[in-house]
């Protein structure tokens, strides 16, 4: 089968892919629990002549040409397959059947796109000079995340020259592609701050060490980390996202708890921000005579796109969508992504497909009303297949 009828082939495949996407959406599974999804993907691949093998517990790896492993160029394409631990509140006919689990980040769509790519590549297997490795990755979401790190540790990128991944994004206009070289998504830290004071009656604050007052000053002071430590340079986000203290109106509690996140894009900035946060905590503790303890958890590293790979995405995106619909507007963004572990290991590029519907306030990822836009399925397939054609030719010449 030739490449000339690619768009026709994709159009013919889309109805079946849409049905599969709805099925995955209806049966969401959390990270490292994607047993049903893994079985669905495995069956699809085996029907098309692949020999998928398990990786990272519930993930799958499949090579288009396993016999050429190590003898020619290989590029990898990745889709994340897990859901979020949240409720499905929509009235979709294919809404989640599992309480507390829902595909509210588009991974059902990403998986479907890669299934479509697998089908089209299999039909053209003899015309492809080089290998394509399909990575169906579990556990991207942060609660039980880090599936990419496990896949790398288990050799998923052995012999791979480049890796590509995509994400739908309702913050950008539908049908537009956003990509940039260098940092594209942030290093993630999450924090819990416990303030220990001395509780007592609300009418006698002089006998207490009020953790709420200390916490309020702490929240205010943390807002200066970016505005006064980094200034116009920026490059960080510090957000307090929860302030938990007290249970009634006439009791000063003995403790308070703050939760939040820190996002940065360069190691030097990370060190500067964390040092300043620790300094503020120490100062607040001394000023209000309270104990302040910091529990800092390191999340995904900064996701850095290889310049050559990012340029390839830009080139293919312009061919598929037109130059006006490809840019780096709005990048980098302060979200986190475990695709960063792939990018640390192998030259890679991560990019976004816009899903914002014209004239609408389209629900964003992780919003209760979010649903993947099925019109992105053929676009995602075209771009991934375009990258296969572009990169295998270039890598073959380079060797």
The pLDDT tens digits of the residues spanning 185-217 come to 999 999 999 999 999 999 999 999 999 999 999
* 27 pLDDT above the threshold of 90: yes
**What is the per-residue pLDDT for 8?**
95
Across 43-50, average pLDDT: 98
Mean pLDDT score, 159-173: 97
pLDDT in tens, 224-257: 999 998 877 778 999 999 999 999 999 999 999 9
What letter does residue 395 receive in the DSSP assignment? Answer: H
pLDDT digits (tens, 9 = 90+) for 289-346: 999 999 999 999 999 999 999 999 999 999 999 999 999 999 999 999 999 999 999 9
Average pLDDT, integer, range 133-137 = 98
> Is residue 117 a contact partner of residue 135, using CB atoms and an 8 Å limit?
no
pLDDT at 2: 66
255-295 confidence digits (pLDDT tens): 999 999 999 999 999 999 999 999 999 999 999 999 999 99
Cis amide prior to 332 (ω within 30 degrees): yes
Yes or no: say if 247 and 231 are a contact pair by the CB < 8 Å rule: no
Report d(CA 210, CA 254) in Å as an integer: 7
Residue 72 has a pLDDT of 80
**Domains with residue ranges and CATH for the chain:** 6-184+302-398 (3.40.630.10), 187-298 (3.30.70.360)
* DSSP collapsed to 3 states, 214-281: HHHHHHHHHCHHHHHHCHHHCCEEEEEEEEEECCCCCEECCEEEEEEEEEECCHHHHHHHHHHHHHHH
- Residue in 104, 118, 131 with CA at minimum distance from that of residue 42: 118
The phi and psi torsions of 325 (rounded to 5 degrees) equal -105, 15
Write down the pLDDT at residue 198.
98
For the cut 70, the answer to whether the pLDDT of residue 399 exceeds it is no
Q: What percent of the chain has pLDDT over 90?
A: 91
The pLDDT tens digits for 339-351 are 999 999 999 999 9
The pTM of this model reads 0.94
């Amino acid at each position: 089968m030739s490449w000339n009828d690619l768009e026709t082939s994709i159009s013919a495949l889309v109805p079946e892919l849409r049905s599969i996407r709805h099925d995955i959406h209806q049966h969401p599974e959390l990270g490292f629990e994607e047993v049903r999804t893994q079985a669905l993907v495995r069956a699809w691949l085996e029907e098309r002549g692949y020999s998928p093998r398990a990786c990272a517990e519930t993930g799958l790896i499949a090579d288009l040409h396993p016999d050429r492993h190590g003898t020619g160029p290989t590029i990898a394409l990745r889709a994340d397959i897990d859901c979020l631990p949240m409720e499905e509140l929509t009235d979709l006919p294919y809404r989640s059947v599992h309480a507390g689990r829902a595909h509210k980040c588009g991974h059902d769509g990403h998986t479907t796109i890669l299934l479509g790519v697998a089908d089209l590549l299999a039909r053209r297997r003899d015309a492809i000079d080089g290998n394509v490795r399909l990575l169906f990755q579990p556990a991207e979401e942060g609660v039980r995340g880090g599936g990419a790190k496990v896949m790398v540790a288990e050799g998923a990128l052995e012999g791979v020259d480049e890796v590509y991944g995509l994400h739908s994004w309702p913050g950008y206009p539908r049908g537009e592609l956003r990509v940039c070289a260098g940092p594209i998504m942030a290093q993630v830290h999450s924090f819990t701050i416990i303030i220990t004071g001395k509780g007592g009656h609300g009418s006698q604050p002089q006998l207490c060490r009020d953790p709420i007052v200390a916490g309020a000053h702490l929240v205010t002071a943390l807002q200066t980390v970016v505005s006064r430590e980094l200034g116009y340079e920026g490059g960080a986000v510090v957000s307090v996202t929860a302030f938990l203290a007290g249970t009634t109106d006439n009791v000063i509690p003995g403790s308070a708890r703050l939760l939040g996140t820190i996002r940065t894009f360069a190691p030097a900035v990370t060190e500067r921000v964390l040092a300043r946060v620790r300094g503020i905590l120490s100062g607040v503790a001394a000023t209000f005579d309270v104990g302040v303890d910091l529990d800092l958890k390191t999340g995904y590293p900064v996701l850095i796109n290889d310049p050559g790979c990012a340029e390839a995405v830009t080139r293919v995106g312009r061919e598929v969508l037109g130059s006006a619909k490809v840019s780096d507007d709005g990048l980098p963004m302060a979200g986190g992504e475990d695709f960063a572990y792939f990018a640390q290991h192998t030259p890679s590029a991560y990019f976004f497909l816009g899903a914002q519907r014209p004239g609408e306030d389209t629900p964003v990822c992780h919003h209760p009303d979010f649903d993947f836009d099925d019109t992105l399925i053929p676009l995602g397939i075209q771009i991934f297949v375009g990258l296969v054609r572009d990169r295998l030719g270039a890598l073959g010449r380079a060797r």
